[in-house]
Structure 1
Amino acid sequence: MNTHTPSEATMARTVLVTGVSDHIGARVAAALAADPEIHRVIGVDTVPPPSLPREDGALLGRTEFVRVDLRGPDVTKVIRAADVDTVVHFSLVSGPSAGRTAMKEHNVIGTMQLLAACQRSATVRRVVVRSTTAVYGSSPHAPAVFAEDTVSPEVSHHGYARDAVEVETYVRGFARRRPDVATTTLRFASFMGPGVDSALTRYFSQPVLPTALGFDPRLQFVHSDDAVEVLSRMARADHPGVFNVSGDGVLLLSQCVRRAGRPMLPMPAPAFRLLGGLARGARLVDFSPEQLALMSHGRAVDTGRLSAELGWKPKFTTAAAFDDFLRSRGGPGTLPVALVDWLAYAMTRR
């Protein structure tokens, strides 16, 4: 366990948070800006952050927003001009809404540019990077539970998971070149909760939930509140290393479907892939190859290292996070009823 306390470690004075147009990224910036011991919080993104009503009436508190594309040189200027000492890199795109090429450039090239700026900086002393448990992949040959040092039998070659693998490679290289910087990598399970917009939250919002016939994968979620808390804690004190982040426990997909109160439509893999293509084309749900693998084989991780390091556990279990998401989403989903009827008819004709 890291024995540093905030008073013993380098205190965060000026924090830069990337990805503040995201609901969680904006909340992290707001939480840090509310800390009187942090002098300045700078939020960067290509678009302004959303409005986040708070009890005190503020939106993002003292956070200063700067429009920056991480793929360009401007982030170096911001870090140098503000004497940034702590960087929280949340800006990873998990869905290809802007196209796969733009997504990869933002995730991989953007991270490379940010880390290069940190490496050249004389003031940066702490870097916290958002990653994902998707780096472990989803495979029938996977272990029951992944620890941080578990070697995955199958590395994803698709989308966000592949980007995250590359990002972590660059983060490890940065940590070797700048051993004086406390570098933290957080592998989050799928985000869940009010305000979260992801492939999984869109999937569970549909009126009928297609599943891969013969599979009932284990899923894990981390509540958005707990994601904000762990990112804020890591930004305030030195906790170098790699940490899995998830709510306790797992849910089977069938349990999620029952909790959602929606009918399940099991279908063979080819039909599942066909539906994925239709849903992706209609911009309803991102049924990418990595999502199809997760919805077939699932994934579970051990979070003991995080609990030991922080002396803290997420407030929400996986089940509680999912239930809170369901409470926040009233009404039917958006999958066209005609499409559901056609798929059901096609299944009966096989």
Structure 2
Amino acid sequence: MSRVVLVTGVSRYLACRLAGRLSADPSIDRIIGVDTAPPARADLDLLGRTEFVRADIRNPLISKVISAAEVDTVVHASVTATPHGAGGRAPMKELNVIGTMQLLAACQNSDTVQRLVVKSSTAVYGTSPRDPAIFTEDMTAKALPRSGYAKDAVEVEGYLRGFTRRRPDVSVTLLRFANFVGPYIDTPLTRYFQLPVVPTVFGFDPRLQLLHETDGIEVLRLASTSDRPGTYNVAADGVLLLSQAIRRAGRIAVPVPAPAVSFVGQAVRRSGIVDFSPEQMQFLNFGRVVSTDRLKETFGYTPQYSTEAAFESFLTGRPVTPVISSAALDAGESVLARLLRTKPAGRTTASVTSIDSSRGLRHG
């Protein structure tokens, strides 16, 4: 039986490398990569025998690509989290939501599609002070995302549920990925940690759960080449506090009062350095941690990198040059510790005398 896999968003980092991995699989007859723009010249060799088709999944003509090639497996990896990279928030929403609608319609009308893999995000769980310590796949957001990529991901999953009801014969795998890091991948979060001065929300130190890029690509490959239906959180074991991550990166944290966070976020986005959306800024308030038991026990994959190891790979692979060296931080902490251990007897006595005097007491 001929096997034909179609991958959307193939000009982007993850989909491009996934297509390259699939092209090395002799059991797959054809790999078709679809995107609105051709892959970068530097990525052409990575695609292997992937056949690139310049097509827009927002256009109903995508159904002709699927039917003409008799595609049996569709990997939808083109949902994007960066408005700037998509040309703005409106084009980003069209690509994410309208594009998914058209692609699902094409799959629904196809007689050959047997497997559908959709790349989503743990952002569908939202972020709020009422969140549980750990989200499982069966939980829903305590506060639904109201804008941006997170809202797009919620809508995409809603359309996917409708598709599964209409085409129960198609094996559907929904992958909710945590924030990616690694030596090569470029995301808003990796750029955030490359800022010399890192804005944080005053009074908050959220837990971060990450995922190494190689683990993400491998999970996509396994879902594309074998029947593993279901919804899965895909994240590394363990967490890092934001303060720990900033310290390890050798950056300078600048706490910003909560009312000013939106203004700081807008300034950072306008600079073009980091395409950090409002919901991603809110993520830095409360963080998010998800359960990966189903990924390990049902899907059958345990990430090779922990959150800590994935972040270290990001730091060493870039490399991210520290603004403050770890030696300087250690020295500063040592000085502070010595000061805290020292009991300033004279100052304490003066303080007590001052208090007594304020009460009108006299020392005889």
Q: Same fold (TM over 0.5)?
A: yes
Deviations 1:209-254 (A, max 9, x none): 1110100001111111011100000011111111000011111101
CA contact (8 A) 2:120 2:177 kept: yes
| Counterpart among 266, 287, 290 of residue 301 in structure 1 | 290
Picking from 152, 156, 162, the partner of 1:163 is 152
1:130 is aligned, of 107, 115, 119, to 119
Corresponding residue SS for 1:59:
helix
2:260 matched residue in structure 1: 271
In the other structure, the counterpart of 2:50 is 63
| Higher helix fraction (1 or 2) | 2
Paired AA for residue 94 in structure 2 = E
Counterpart-to-counterpart distance in 2, 1:196 and 1:46: 20
2:83 corresponding residue in structure 1? 96
Could you tell me how far 1:286 is from its partner in structure 2? 2.7
Letter in 2 for 1:81: A
In structure 2, stretches of 5+ residues that fail to align are 324-364
Higher Rg: 2
The TM-score normalised by the length of structure 1 is 0.89
The reply on whether 1:76 has 2:83 as its aligned counterpart is: no
Amino acid in the other structure paired with 1:202 = R
> 1:23: which partner in 2?
13
Question: After the TM superposition, which of the residue ranges 284-293 and 195-204 deviates more from structure 2?
Answer: 284-293
Structure 2 letter corresponding to 1:23: Y
**Aligned partner (choices 28, 38, 42) of residue 48 of structure 1:** 38
Aligned to 1:39: 29
Kindly report which structure 2 residues correspond to 1:131-280, keeping only aligned pairs within 5 A, or say none: 131-280=120-269
Q: Which runs of 4+ in 1 moved over 4 A?
A: 51-54, 331-334
- Structure 2: how far apart are the matches of 1:12 and 1:193? 35
CA distance in 1: counterparts of 2:174 and 2:321, whole angstroms: 37
Which residue does 1:7 correspond to in 2?
A: none
Q: List per-residue Cα deviations over 1:271-316 (Å, max 9, x = no partner).
A: 3322211111111123322112100000000011011123220111
Which of residues 296, 299, 307 in structure 2 aligns to 1:318? 307
* 1:116-137 C-alpha deviation (Å, 9 max, x unpaired): 0000000000000000000000
SS at match of 2:255: strand
Distance 2:255 2:83 in 1: 26
In 1: Cα distance, 2:239 partner to 2:153 partner:
23
- SS of the residue 1:186 aligns to: strand
2:319 to 313, 330, 333: 330
Tell me which of 291, 302, 322 is aligned to 2:280: 291
Cα pair 2:120 2:153 within 8 Å, conserved: yes
CA distance in 1, matches of 2:118, 2:300: 20
Given that residues 207 and 332 in structure 1 are in contact (C-alpha distance below 8 angstroms), is that contact kept between their aligned partners in structure 2?
A: no
Structure 2 CA distance for aligned equivalents of residues 53 and 283 of structure 1: 24
In 2: Cα distance, 1:219 partner to 1:296 partner: 11
5+ residue gaps, structure 1: 1-10, 335-350
TM superposition shift of 1:53? 6.6
Paired residue total: 321
1:281 is aligned, of 244, 265, 270, to 270
Give how far 1:110 is off: 0.1
User: For residues 274 and 333 of structure 1, do their structure 2 counterparts lie closer, same or farther at Cα, with a shift above 3 Å needed?
Assistant: farther
SS of residue matched to 1:294? helix
- Cα deviation, residue 331, structure 1: 5.2
